[in-house]
Chains A and B, each alone.
With several copies, the nearest count.
Chain A
Amino acid sequence: MNPFKPKKDRRLGVAEGKRQYDLPLNKSIGTGFLVVLIALMTFLAIMALGTSFALGSMTQRWSSGLENKATIEVPAEKNDSDLRTKNEVNALVERVEQKLSDQPYIKSVTALDQGDIQALIEPWLGQGEILDNIPLPGLLSVELQISNESSLAKLTKTLAEIDETIRLDTHESWLGDLLRLTGALQFAAGFVLLIIGFTTVAAVAGAIRTRMAVHNEEVELLHLMGAGDGYITRQLQRHALMIGLKGSLVGLIAGLIVLGLIALIAGDTGAALLPDFHIQLGHIIGMIIVPTLICIIASMAARFTVLRVLAQMP
């Protein structure tokens, strides 16, 4: 018998059956750890992204809601420390309101009710008719078209023309602080994303190098049997991709759940700090990009690591 004689049906063979890895990658030690690590990375990325989005819409709300607003105070006392009567104050307020509503850079102007002002002072003086006798300052809330240097300068000038004692209180200083804070936080979130990217590359590359070390004999054997670099690389790359997919999906789901919970809780407390998190198309794309990117990073890190190791074999 000669087992090498070609048979006819052999040549007609069809590719069938599922192919597994030649390398014992699935049973590899550390696969679980890598999946967990990538899940964690994805989770962090999602959280960072979520925070960033939330901060973004918060900033937007503040900017649109408050940035263009200012408060004008008509003090109850004149420049010379004499008091204004209630009527004098009201008249001044009315004049300011009229004058400002003509200005093109003003979007709206509203005089605060005396009742509102009384409510502010009530805690200190108690309710009662006494308030009627006390000269209270007049307050106006203004909304500018755009809050920039020139429009504010114009406003200041207009007010000075009416009366010198009138004070303008923009929200600029504390809002600026807040915006600077959220900007820093958004920057931090971006930084976190960057670190996550690096960590993922490092971890995957390290893990793949470990695998190459652990399975060095097997890899070398395949190499010696004439398996091309592509043949070997493909297996490890696919392996890394599968790990990346598993890990990043778990991380994505966990991240979305936690974000949802936070939104729910924040919604309960009146959305004081976290604004209602409107799901926008951009956000969805961002959330999908994270695991995709992580998978690509994982598989490319694997590819280059394997190629570098293989290059050392003759």
Chain B
Amino acid sequence: MIKFEHVGLRYGVGPEVLTDIDFTLEPGSFHFLTGPSGSGKTSLMTLMYLGRKPTRGLVTMFGQNINQMERDKLATLRQRIGVVFQDFRLLNHLSAFDNVALPLRIAGRPEKEIKDNVDELLEWVGLGEHKNVLPLTMSGGQQQRVAIARAVIARPKLLLADEPTGNLDDEIGFRLMNLFDQLNRMGTTIVIATHNQKIMDEFGHSRLVLDSGTLKIEAPKNWIQKKIEGVF
């Protein structure tokens, strides 16, 4: 699904933010991406959603070398990736409904289908009554949920979520994690950047740990084991 080989990234003339990143994510896998603030999680995500090209190294996605791909193909590829941005990036002039509908519209799906899908998903994330509301009049958590809904609406093959529960309480956070789990079971590869220890502990997926620009993969912990330990 995703293969990084000796990948490095620097912004402008600054130092390398990511150095020698090497990893492979299998299709249908589920990963947490963690690491201290400023360690490069968002930067790594950016490379994965094709928002930047790496300054060096080889990125292979969906079995194709990104560096040599044509523009049109890149666009098609991006349509298969859902992203929850750390700062949401909602379109402020569009209602919650239109924001969530955007990926389907870009894919050129019929309006009827869009309406049904979007309405149902907004209901699911608890925003059924806010579908005609503009982002700027929503609370932080509501905006975050719109961003999540937008990322998953087109049932992407790859879902990248950057701190998707930072503004949400545990209850709704877990609910959304379950949404990601369902998506994962339908075949979507998922990477979630998070600082939330509780969620990482609850859902025992493998962790990619970033520290000062280098990546370390921790084997998935046996979380039932951990949970049992927690009880005693």
Chain A residues near B (Cβ < 8 Å): 1-4, 7, 9-17, 19, 22, 24, 27, 217-218, 221-229, 231, 314
* B197: Cβ under 8 A from any A Cβ: no
Report yes or no: A227 in contact with B75, Cβ–Cβ below 8 A: yes
Report yes or no: A11 in contact with B113, Cβ–Cβ below 8 A: yes
Residue of A13, A15, A222 touching B116 (CB-CB under 8 A): A13
Listed residue (A218, A226, A228) with the most chain B CB atoms within 10 angstroms of its CB:
A226
| Alpha-carbon gap, A218 to B88, bound state (A) | 12
Q: A-side binding surface: helix, strand, loop or mixed?
A: loop
Listed residue (A22, A218, A221, A225) with the most chain B CB atoms within 10 angstroms of its CB:
A225
| Alpha-carbon gap, A226 to B102, bound state (A) | 10
Report yes or no: A4 in contact with B182, Cβ–Cβ below 8 A: yes
On whether A10 and B75 interact (CB within 8 A), knowing A3-B121, A19-B105, A22-B102, the answer reads: no
Contacting residues, chain A, for B182 (C-beta < 8 A) = 2, 4
- Which 4 A-B pairs give the minimum distances between C-beta atoms? A13-B113, A13-B112, A226-B79, A226-B78
Among B22-30, B34-42, B89-97, the stretch that binds chain A is B89-97
Contacting residues, chain A, for B94 (C-beta < 8 A) = 22
* B71: Cβ under 8 A from any A Cβ: yes
The residue in chain A whose Cβ has the minimal distance to the Cβ of B49 is A224
Q: How many B residues touch the partner, as a band? A: 35 or more
On whether A17 and B83 interact (CB within 8 A), knowing A1-B124, A225-B103, the answer reads: no
Residue of A4, A16, A229 touching B112 (CB-CB under 8 A): A16
Chain B residues near A (Cβ < 8 Å): 49-53, 71-72, 74-81, 83, 89, 91-94, 102-103, 105-107, 109-117, 120-121, 124, 152, 155, 179, 182-183, 186
The residue in chain B whose Cβ has the minimal distance to the Cβ of A2 is B182
Report yes or no: A225 in contact with B79, Cβ–Cβ below 8 A: yes
Report yes or no: A314 in contact with B109, Cβ–Cβ below 8 A: no
Contacting residues, chain A, for B83 (C-beta < 8 A) = 224-225
| Alpha-carbon gap, A212 to B109, bound state (A) | 26
Residue of A9, A221, A228 touching B91 (CB-CB under 8 A): A221
| Alpha-carbon gap, A69 to B70, bound state (A) | 72
On whether A22 and B105 interact (CB within 8 A), knowing A13-B111, A15-B110, A314-B53, the answer reads: yes
The residue in chain A whose Cβ has the minimal distance to the Cβ of B66 is A314
Cβ distance A97 to chain B, nearest Cβ, rounded Å: 84
Report yes or no: A14 in contact with B106, Cβ–Cβ below 8 A: no
Report yes or no: B106 in contact with A227, Cβ–Cβ below 8 A: yes
On whether A3 and B93 interact (CB within 8 A), knowing A10-B113, A13-B110, A226-B79, the answer reads: no
Report yes or no: A14 in contact with B112, Cβ–Cβ below 8 A: yes
What are 16 A-B pairs with beta-carbon distances under 8 A? A3-B179, A13-B110, A13-B116, A14-B111, A16-B111, A16-B112, A17-B115, A22-B105, A225-B79, A225-B102, A225-B103, A226-B75, A226-B80, A226-B81, A228-B72, A314-B53
Contacting residues, chain A, for B105 (C-beta < 8 A) = 19, 22
Report yes or no: B106 in contact with A229, Cβ–Cβ below 8 A: no
The residue in chain B whose Cβ has the minimal distance to the Cβ of A16 is B111
Report yes or no: B124 in contact with A3, Cβ–Cβ below 8 A: yes
Report yes or no: B106 in contact with A12, Cβ–Cβ below 8 A: no
| Alpha-carbon gap, A19 to B106, bound state (A) | 12
